[in-house]
Structure 1
Amino acid sequence: MKIPINPMVASWNWFSYWCSSYPAYSVAVATLSGIGSGYLLSKADQSFWFFIPAAITALLSALPPSATAYWDRKNDLDEDATAARERVMDQAIPPLLEEACQLSTSRSNQRVVALKGAAQIVTKDLIAAYSLVPNVRAAVYQVSDDGKKMTVLARAGRNQKPQPFVRGTTRGDQAFKVLAMTENFEFVADLSEAPSSWEGSGKGYKTYISAPIRVGDSGYGMLTLDAPKVGDLDSRDGSTVSLLAATLSIYFSEATRTTRNLS
């Protein structure tokens, strides 16, 4: 059963967003509350009961600036995380593409070694890009030569080995459908709301992104990123994962072009 959203947290987030988005109104609320608190305090010497509403209005006058600061700080952290991920991607992809350009003239065994190296680099770079997400995990899956399963070629992050996907099982068949889907990636924000057809293990994670590694109609594998907390990933992260998956597709295509052609 899905844990419901705390209404107090949701209300605070909404109020913080409102105060940050409409600073003039939040200043007006704070000012009016401050004036009201001052007036009530001036009457407190006449009756103790004036002190209670005075304290409440004083608290209200402090809420708008606190909420604005909270929301602005939250946005700053989000922007810092996005900038850090963009920097990692800018540093990771160009060297991979440069090496990929040289694969066409490399020997078969060299292309296989290059594929394994690229898969390791991509998973490690993904973890570096999402270093602010606790216990995040990245994995590269490779379709076997007989096309009956996908096994892990490289992984990084959370110390929990991903399980293979086997055709003929509900979990495996769903994973192989990713290779043929029209979208560039699949994002599941909350596994508790996943379709009934989903049969992943769900061990250690509550949200994930998977992107097919393919060239045309040939599916070679899948790149996944998962995290244990709902909200750690969002749909924008799917573009990062799919971009790296597309980069890996060059390596897969080169490594397998003389041995097999899976669809």
Structure 2
Amino acid sequence: MDIKTYIESGILELYVAGRLSENENQEIYNLLQQHPELLQEVLEIEAAVVKLTAAVSPHAVNFNSIKGKLGASETKVVDLKPKQTNWISYTGWAASILLAAGLLWTLNQNTDLEQQLQTVETDNIYLETQIEDAKTDLAATKNLLNVIRDKDIIAVPLGGQGDYASSFAKVYWNKADNTIYLDAEGLPNAPDGKVWQVWSLTLNPLTPTSLGTIDDFNTDENKIFTIANANESQAFGVTLEPEGGSATPTMEQLYTLGVVSATP
């Protein structure tokens, strides 16, 4: 439908004036529900009619000013009967105004309903995501429990060192798949610009090998991290290092250390 051509046809003005048949009125009513542009045009026509009606009201005529402009010394006043008001047209305008207001209210209600439905749909998606995340976390937890309860796993407690005696951690080492699981619940969040770095150590001679940094430590809720370790480790340690890690451990920032006491 060409909205512009339809508006320019003048049929909306006839609709506002109440000059159309019942079928034509119903057809335009249906179009107003479908096309907000047409509804807006009807509202503008009605506003113009209201202004025009006020402008031509008999109360707006200043008879004395007209008499003065004519310069007549004597003016015969002819009693003119006012034209009969076309109440049918006015009734049509009023009905159109009420109809347009009703349509506008209906459109607003439909918009509010759509927004509410979108909110409910968003909430449902979020809830489904939360459920899936919970299922994933539960599966991961069960898997981790199975790993640390394996009879061949090597548990290595890491005790606090020096000024950090209150710190602690624990390593679960699965030599079968060259993996360690670091439970770092006993470490504080890394300060800005710092990261925790994990080390595998051989003791004679003392040789540290970096197992990498834990960049997401502060945001991880469980504080359990899976780390690859193919080394013949004799001890494990955790130090606080600058972002990006260090080539060798900063001994002054050695928070926890534990020696592998036995193997299965």
TM-score (structure 2 length as normaliser): 0.30
> Which structure shows the bigger proportion of residues in strand conformation?
2
TM-score (structure 1 length as normaliser): 0.30
